[in-house]
Amino acid sequence: MPGFELFGDKERKEVQDVMDSGVLMRYGFDAMRNGHWKTKELENGLAERMQSKYAHAVSSGTAALTVALASAGIGAGDEVIMPTFTFVASFESILALGAVPVLVDIDDTLTLKPQAVENAITPRTKVVMPVHMCGSMANLDALKAICDKHGLLLLEDACQAIGGTYDGKPLGSIGDLGCFSFDYVKTITCGEGGAVITNNKAYYENAHKYSDHGHDHIGNNRGAEGHPFLGYNFRISEMNAAVGVAQVSRLDEFIAIQKRNYTILREALSSIPEIVFRTVPDGGEENYSFLNFFLPTEDISKKSHQALSENGVDGCFYWYNNNWHYYKKWEHLTNLKSLGNLPKDVKESLPDYSKADFSESDKWMSRNISCLIKLGWSEEEAVQRANTMVEAVKSSI
């Protein structure tokens, strides 16, 4: 991770096809295309690789979440349960529809704690959104059972976990809907892009229309297409999709490299008895994009993170103090800072997060260090890095 580290001839070839045709838009201009439909190729490749009936590409992972929620009819006042550890896009996509983000605790998987989800359900709850942060997954069996019990939608935010599996199935394909991000720092990238996958035809039909101003995409005359409902513009460009076509075809190659480098680091760090690695649910396999581990205390974790940085080990994160990924620094959500007036449902229904008790999440996040696994490392470089990491962490305990 990320896929841009290994850009090569495949990516250049796909982009050149688009440049030669001159058509950068995914719809229309049939005669000019020379048979090139890169977004359709990307969608077909994703659907096949993710073992899903349908895939629809959009402009970002944030757009994918927004479109997925909208395609299932989520709107004003509906509650969506999400974790305290994620990226801000998770609650942004919910708020964009006038829905209400309900934050709940994580556990040692660094994803949704099933009992916390159960406790947060109200008559207004419509969706449970596990976020498979840093390449690994939530306990999807437990969450699916909760959703089935209460008649809720299970939406997998797999934006950071493409290539991971659960019970042999690709992450993103297990819930009612799954979402991916293909931004510049993801395991596979389009530069900017995202996708929604589903086995539900109605959700797919809604998704491709909603993300293109409500166009029904019937016939071959774009100007004559119908508009069955309101939509917006979340289209991906053919240029971005072209990069994605090449990258999706290389996903297994990337995962294999990540697994090798991850394993080297994990085996080395296993020599430190104070380290406990993140829990991966039974039946799950990470995509190996991050190595996550816990140290005994917050103080030791801070010292270890500082020591790693001082010893030249870049790409290790202490998310507990991070502005973008953990609830503690989401003042703009807590204080409802918005350029325009927020919907009444949001103002009246959003929990007061300034008074929320997320001590269970704090217990895990304050002791966690998360290390990016790069594709560009040689095996020798990974070994050298692992040795440096071991010495840095030992010096802090």
Residues with Cβ within 8 Å of 290's Cβ and at least 6 positions away in sequence, in order, are 1, 134, 135, 136, 160, 370, 371, 372, 373
Residues 136 and 245 in one domain: yes
Do 43 and 173 have their domain in common?
yes
CATH at residue 128: 3.40.640.10
Same domain for 204 and 290?
no
pLDDT tens for 176-225 read 999 999 999 999 999 999 999 999 999 999 999 999 999 999 998 999 99
Range of the domain at 281: 253-394
Residues 50 and 128 in one domain: yes
Total number of domains in the chain:
2
Q: How does residue 1 score in pLDDT terms, banded at 50, 70 and 90?
A: confident
pLDDT of residue 359: 97
57 shares its domain with 199 = yes
CA 207 to the chain's CA centroid: 18
pLDDT digit string (tens) for 39-64? 999 999 999 999 999 999 999 999 99
Predicted confidence (pLDDT) per residue in 262-311, tens digit: 999 999 999 999 999 999 999 999 999 999 999 999 999 999 999 999 99
Last residue of a domain, one of 250, 282, 313: 250
Of 234, 250, 266, the domain-final residue: 250
Helix axis angle for 251-269 and 238-249, nearest 10°, is 60
Q: Which of the listed residues 250, 282, 300 is the one where a domain comes to its end?
A: 250
Kindly state the helix (H) or strand (E) to which residue 15 belongs, with its residue range.
helix 9-21
Is 205 in the same domain as 302?
no
Residues 72 and 95 in one domain: yes
pLDDT of residue 43: 98
Same structural domain, 277 and 218 = no
The verdict on 115 and 33 lying in the same domain is: yes
**pLDDT tens-digit map of 152-170:** 999 999 999 999 999 999 9
The contacts of residue 269 (CB under 8 Å, 6+ apart) are: 275, 291, 293, 386, 389, 390, 393
Q: Do 20 and 155 reside in the same domain of the chain?
A: yes
So which residues are the catalytic ones? 186
For 79-103, write each residue's pLDDT tens digit: 999 999 999 999 999 999 999 999 9
What's the CATH number where 264 sits?
3.90.1150.10
40 and 177: one domain? Answer: yes
Q: Measuring CA to CA, which residue among 318, 327, 253, 240 is closest to residue 41? A: 240
Q: Are residues 181 and 266 in the same domain?
A: no
pLDDT for 360:
97
